[in-house]
């Protein structure tokens, strides 16, 4: 069974967004993520931002990039829940760490935080609904 058939067959809460809506949200967020992360990485490379600011962005990028292969490749719901919680927590860490250096970068993470908050609740709900 392909990944979409597998995902469709999972028990999900009634408020689960349509996959098209989920894709649209990421299409809006990824340009913000690309620009803000690039700024942080370039400024970190130039030593204009300390590594303590760059590290949460790196950890977040890793957790974000590994989410889909874990979810749809491994099809491991508990591990996927763990990955999204790391992603969510690192967004908060990113905002806090960058705040004193560039508030605009911190503010730009708020839509990402809002969406990942919804996605995390959804993922945890799906995981619990499909245990056993």
Q: pLDDT tens digits, residue range 66-119?
A: 999 999 999 999 999 999 999 999 999 999 999 999 999 999 999 999 999 999
Indicate whether 8 belongs to any domain: no
Predicted confidence (pLDDT) per residue in 93-108, tens digit? 999 999 999 999 999 9
Percent of the chain with pLDDT over 70: 100
Indicate whether 20 belongs to any domain: no
Domains in the chain, number: 1
Separation between Cα atoms, residue 60 and residue 66, nearest integer Å: 10
Indicate whether 6 belongs to any domain: no
Identify the pLDDT of residue 1.
Answer: 80
Predicted confidence (pLDDT) per residue in 8-34, tens digit? 999 999 999 998 999 999 999 999 999
Indicate whether 27 belongs to any domain: no
Indicate whether 14 belongs to any domain: no
Give the range of the structural domain holding residue 115, as residue numbers without chain letter.
35-129
Indicate whether 111 belongs to any domain: yes
Indicate whether 125 belongs to any domain: yes
Separation between Cα atoms, residue 130 and residue 118, nearest integer Å: 18
Indicate whether 15 belongs to any domain: no
Query: DSSP assignment of 47-115, as one string?
Result: TSS-HHHHHHHHHHHHHHHHHHIIIIII--HHHHHHHHHHHHHHHHHHHHHHHTT-HHHHHHTHHHHHH
């Amino acid at each position: 069974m392909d990944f979409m058939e597998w995902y469709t067959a999972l028990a999900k809460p009634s408020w689960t967004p349509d996959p098209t809506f989920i894709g649209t949200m990421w299409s809006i967020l990824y340009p913000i993520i690309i620009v803000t992360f690039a700024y942080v990485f370039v400024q970190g490379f130039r030593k204009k931002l300390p590594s303590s600011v760059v590290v949460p962005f790196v950890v977040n990028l890793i957790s974000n990039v590994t989410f889909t292969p874990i979810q749809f490749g491994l099809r491991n719901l508990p591990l996927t829940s763990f990955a999204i919680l790391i992603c969510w927590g690192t967004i908060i860490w990113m905002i806090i760490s960058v705040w004193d250096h560039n508030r605009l970068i911190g503010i730009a993470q708020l839509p990402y935080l809002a969406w990942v908050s919804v996605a995390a609740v959804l993922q945890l709900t799906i995981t619990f609904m499909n245990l056993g």
